[in-house]
Each structure stands twice: as C-alpha cells, then as structure tokens.
Amino acid sequence: MSDAIHPGNSSAPLVSVVVIGRNEGERLVRCLESVRQANWDGRPYEVVYVDSRSTDASVGRAESLGARAFVLSDASPCAAKARNLGWTRARGEFILFLDGDTQLDPDFVARALQTLEDPVLCAAWGHRRESDPGQSIYTRVLDLDWVYPVGRTQYFGGDVLVRRTALASVDGFDPTLKAGEEPEMCARLRAAGWQIEHIDAPMTRHDLAVNTLRAYWLRAYRSGIAYAEVADRMKRRNDPMWQREARRDFVHGILLIALPFVFLLTLFCSLWLTALLCAAVGAVLYRTVLRCRWKAPEDPVLCWEYAVHAYLQKVPALFGQLEWRRANRASDEIALVDYKSDAAVSTGASPDAPADASFSPDAQTGRLKPALVRLLVPFAGVWRRVVIDRWLRVWSLARLQEAIGGEVHASNVILGPVSVHGTGNIHFGRNAMFYPGVYLETQGEGRIEIGDDVVFSSGVHIVAFDRVTIGRGVMIGEYTSLRDANHNPDPVSVRRSGHTCAPIEVGDNAWIGRGACVLKGVRLGANCIVAANAVVTRDVGAGTLVAGIPARPLPQRNA
C-alpha cells in the first residue's frame, strides 16, 4: 500500500476519509486530528483533503497531517464538485465524507461499518451536533436542525459513510448544484434500489460559526435555493421529496412578510381583530413547540426559540427560492452563497489575498437586493398608505395635542413628530402643514401663536420667552430659526445670565427661506420674502425682499 494509507493490522476493507473545506484554518486541523485519533481498531484508512481555493494555509496543514491534498481548480467551486474530486481520487471500498469544520466521533466508523453489513444499505450516518451551541443564539437553535429520527431515511447530509460502488452507480454528486447535492444524489440512489440508515450513534461535532444575523440570513437563503432547485428536479422525476416542504416554505415566507402589515391593518380597524391575530400567532407557535419538543425535551425555552427560528428562517429561504426562479428563467448560474465568507479573516488569511468573485458577499447582495425590493414594493405601498399617511399623522397629531394640553384642530396635517418643550403655551390655527422635525419651545409667560394655512418645513425651530406670532399663509423653510430672546453677556456664566426678550411678528403670506435666522424684536411685514440663510436683525417692510448677514433690502425682479 501507498505510504499515504494507514495500513492497520487487519484484512478489513479500506476506508477513505474525504474531507472538503475552504479557509477552515484551525477547524480543519481539529477535523484531521479527530480522524487520526479515531478508534480504527486496526482497520486500514486513508485521508484525502479537497480544497476549494483557500487563501489560507489549508493545503499545507492538511499535507503536514498526513492527508493527500487536492485543489479544486474551478472558477465556480461548490461542495458537490469537491466531493466528486475526493471520492474519485480515493481508493477505499467505503468513503467517509466529512466537512472541514467537523470533528469525527471516535467510534462512528466502527458502528457505521457494522450497519453496512446489510447489503441493501448504501450509506450510514449518525448524529451531527454543534461543538459549541452556546456561542450565539443562532447556533443554539440551529443545533436542533441536526436532530433527525433514527432508522431508514430518504437522504443524508454532508457527513456520511457511503459504499464506493453505490457512488459509482449514480456517478456521484451533481456538480451543477450549489447546495442540496446530498438529497438529490440520495434520490438517485433510492431509485437504483439502495437504502439509507440513520443510526443512533454520535457521528460528528460541527462548528457552524453562525454568530451574526447576516450569516444566519445567508445560510437560510442558501437553503431556499437548494429547496427550490432540488424540488424542481424531483418533480420532473415524479419523486415527492421536498415538494411539500418547498411549497410550504414559499407560502410561509410570504405570510411572514405580510404579517406586520396585517397586524397594523387590524390595529387600525379593531383592537379585537388585533388580539385575535396575536392569539392565532401564539397558537401556531405553541403547536410548533409541541411538535419539536422531542428534540430538546428538557429545555422548554430552547423549544420556543427553535419554534420562532423555524418560521423566521422561511423569510430568507423565500428570497433564495425567488432567486433560483429568477436564475432558472434567465438561464443564469447562481454564485456559491458562502455564509462563512469572512472566515479568512478569522483564520489568519492575508487580507490582501485574492478572493473568488463567486464567494463575494457583494455578488450575493447584488442578486438578493433586487429580489427583495421587487417583493417589498407592494408592501411598501400598503405601509405608506396605512401607516405613514394615516396612522403616523394621526399619532403625531395626538402627541402634539397631548403635549400642549389643548386642542389642535384635525384639519392640520402633521407629517411627523413635532417636538414641544417648556410650558406648551402654543395656539394652532387650521389647515396648517408641519413636516417632521419641527421644534417649538415656550418658557415662562412666552407664547407661540400660529395662524391658518401655514407651512412649517423640516427642522423649523421657534423659541418664545415673550411672544412669536405667525400670520396666515406663512411659509417657513427648512432649518429656519425664530427666537425672541437672547442670553445676557456675562463674563462668569452666560448660561446663568438670564435673557432679554422682545416679540417677533411674522405678517400674513410672508415667505422665509431655508436656514434663515430671525432675532428678537423683529417684525416681518405681510408678503415679505426673507432669502435663504439670511440673518434678520431689524424690521422688514411689507412686500420687501431681504437677504444677507445682516439682512438688507434687495430690489425684486419679476420671474
């Protein structure tokens, strides 16, 4: 035998361990060490490592640990291509597939080989669990995704012991699949008469490394692509596998996106409808808790968390299905979605190393964002009409009325929150329009009087220690300031020096431009115009145009 094969001391069949990975760093080292430390009980084995163009030292590390290493030189790498390269270069009668972020249980191989003594079985797999489920809420719930019932199953995952003859009979994995390659190949194996056994034994410990919402989203998004593509292939083969699951996830994803809008709609129509909707959502979640309780019977909190995860993951999965449908119609190839795309940083790869465009988060976002926008456009319309145009305006008007302790006529249009400070001694006319970010403050005996048909743009700032009067039809531009008081100069403390104040009066139909500042004691005559960014320190006559710092009259020109 070759030096790369650990010969053992028995005549048992050779087992080839095929490990695939990309930028796994120390995770790969732990994986290969676990293979070396497994209980081989004299059985001969070899280790084959297939690298998907890592930018770290994965290949060198694998070779130093006794593995035969191969690099998948492919412009669009994926797990299916890597596994095919591995098992075709391997020499064993049995192929043990492992991902580079797993650690092999010492006794799994012996248990699996014993199971495969049944000639109808082509594969045996055991329990995969997370090595550190407590590292984040995401890995805590995703750990339960690995829990499956034991016995005969329709498919296996990425870690499995398979007969080489079975792999050869179906030409291995489909290299055109970016995800879901294991279930798709299992369907072909079952069609060829083979069966698959899930044994009640630990198999691997896995390091999912999902610690951010982005990674969680991308992983579920990738599963949506896999569900859509594999379900489509199974449908063409009249195989029921994943048909129901793909349809269910698609419908559930749409319902979950619509749920917040439905909630707001019921809140607008009737509190009883809102309560009924909340009760229905709670009942659905509780039913899911009961169904998954067998996965974590001693941890009810985890069961509730898992139930929420079971539904929330359907939203990114929906976008994955939509992306596959778009690509299928356009005959485009979907780039590999790598939720561990920043693994190179965490494993010591050079930040200047070249990256494969198919692994780029920007490439994934570039495809996801347009699909997300298309789906959300109708909901955005509902949000604008129901929430912004109705609820937010009504709520802002209610807040304003509560803040001043008096009535604000319903004819006023309050487009966003108005900040009221001080005594709230403010009088509002009718048919006014207030944009978001208006600031109104009254102190002591100060009062603000606002006439009918005025327009206050975003950021208008009015402070009254005496009185500020705004006439009918006045328009005030963004970030304009009207303040009827100044601090007294004091060499010790300006803050505590007190104020001098004098009323400001703005005549009917005046127009104050953006960023203007009107100081205490100024009277603006009717129909006057204050240019943008002007500082007004003295009275302005009716019909006069002023500009500058300090503001001075300018000749008006007809448009």
pLDDT tens figures, 44-75: 999 999 998 888 888 999 999 999 999 998 88
In a domain, 378, yes or no: yes
Extract the tokens encoding 237: 């083969």
Residue where a domain terminates, one of 209, 233, 263? 209
Position 3 scores a pLDDT of 55
Pair of tokens at residue 329: 């119609």
Residues 140 and 236 in one domain: no
Please check whether residue 433 lies inside any domain of the structure. yes
The residue segments making up the domain with residue 411 are 405-554
Q: How many CB atoms lie within 10 A of CB 442?
A: 23
Tokens describing residue 150: 């034991």
Same domain assignment for residues 101 and 243: no
Report CA 195 to chain centroid distance, whole Å. Answer: 38
- What are 463's two structure tokens? 């402070």
Question: Do both 222 and 119 map to the same domain?
Answer: no
| 475 and 549 together in one domain | yes
Ramachandran angles phi, psi of 310, nearest 5°: -60, -30
- How, if at all, do strands 195-206 and 121-130 pair? parallel
> Among residues 209, 227, 251, which one ends one of the domains?
209
Token pair belonging to 344: 């190179």
Whole-number pLDDT of residue 382: 67
Catalytic residues: 487
Computed over its alpha carbons, how large is the radius of gyration of the chain?
35
Q: What angle do CA 527, 529, 535 make, to 5 degrees?
A: 135
β partners of residue 388: none
Q: Which pLDDT score, from 0 to 100, does residue 355 have?
A: 42
d(CA 551, CA 548): 4
Q: Which pLDDT belongs to residue 371?
A: 63
Could you tell me the pTM of the whole model? Answer: 0.64
Identify the pLDDT of residue 1: 38
Same domain as 204, residue 325: no
Are residues 83 and 156 both part of a single domain?
yes
In the chain, the number of structural domains is: 3
| Integer Cα distance of 121 and 233 in angstroms | 24
Q: Would residue 559 count as lying in a domain?
A: no
What's the CATH number where 544 sits?
2.160.10.10
Largest Cα span, the chain = 109
Note whether residue 399 is domain-resident.
no
CATH code for position 16: 3.90.550.10
Q: Which pLDDT score, from 0 to 100, does residue 368 have?
A: 58
Distance between CA 39 and CA 107 in Å, rounded? 6
Residues belonging to the chain:
559
493 within a domain of the structure (yes/no): yes
What is each CA distance from 60 to 23, 24, 350, in whole angstroms? Answer: 12, 12, 15
Q: Where are the alpha helices (DSSP H) in 405-549?
A: none
Looking at the structure, tell me whether residues 162 and 233 fall in a common domain.
no
Render pLDDT for 197-254 as a digit per residue (tens, 0 to 9). Answer: 999 999 999 988 888 888 899 889 989 988 898 898 888 888 888 888 889 999 999 9
> Does residue 113 lie within any of the structural domains?
yes
Q: Does 422 share its domain with 379?
A: no
DSSP letter string, 134-194: GG-HHHHHHGGGG----EEES---SSEEEEHHHHHHTTSS-TT-SS-HHHHHHHHHHHTT-
pLDDT in tens, the chain (559 residues): 345 678 777 678 899 999 999 888 899 999 999 999 999 988 999 999 999 888 888 899 999 999 999 999 888 888 999 999 999 999 999 999 999 999 999 999 999 999 999 999 999 999 999 999 998 999 999 999 999 999 999 999 999 999 999 999 999 999 988 888 999 999 999 999 999 999 999 999 998 888 888 889 988 998 998 889 889 888 888 888 888 888 999 999 999 988 988 888 887 778 888 899 999 999 999 999 999 999 999 999 999 999 999 999 999 999 889 888 888 888 887 776 777 654 333 333 333 334 444 444 444 445 556 766 766 777 677 667 766 777 788 888 999 999 998 889 999 999 988 999 999 999 999 999 999 999 999 999 999 999 999 999 999 999 999 999 999 999 999 999 999 999 888 777 887 778 899 999 999 999 999 999 999 999 999 999 999 999 999 999 999 999 999 999 998 766 5
172 shares its domain with 257: no
Does 398 fall in a domain?
A: no
pLDDT of residue 558: 61
Q: Report the chain's terminal Cα–Cα distance, integer Å.
A: 96
Alpha-carbon distance of 530 to 509, in angstroms, equals 12
Q: Is residue 197 part of a domain?
A: yes
Q: Which residues contact 493 (CB under 8 A, 6 or more apart)?
A: none
Whether residue 517 sits in one domain with residue 413: yes
Say if residue 470 is in the same domain as residue 530. Answer: yes
Residue with tokens 């951010």: 212
Q: Which of 143, 177, 209 is the last residue of a domain?
A: 209
Q: Can you give the three-state secondary structure of 276-301, one letter per residue?
A: HHHHHHHHHHHHHHHHHHHHCCCCHH
Say whether both 64 and 191 belong to one domain. yes
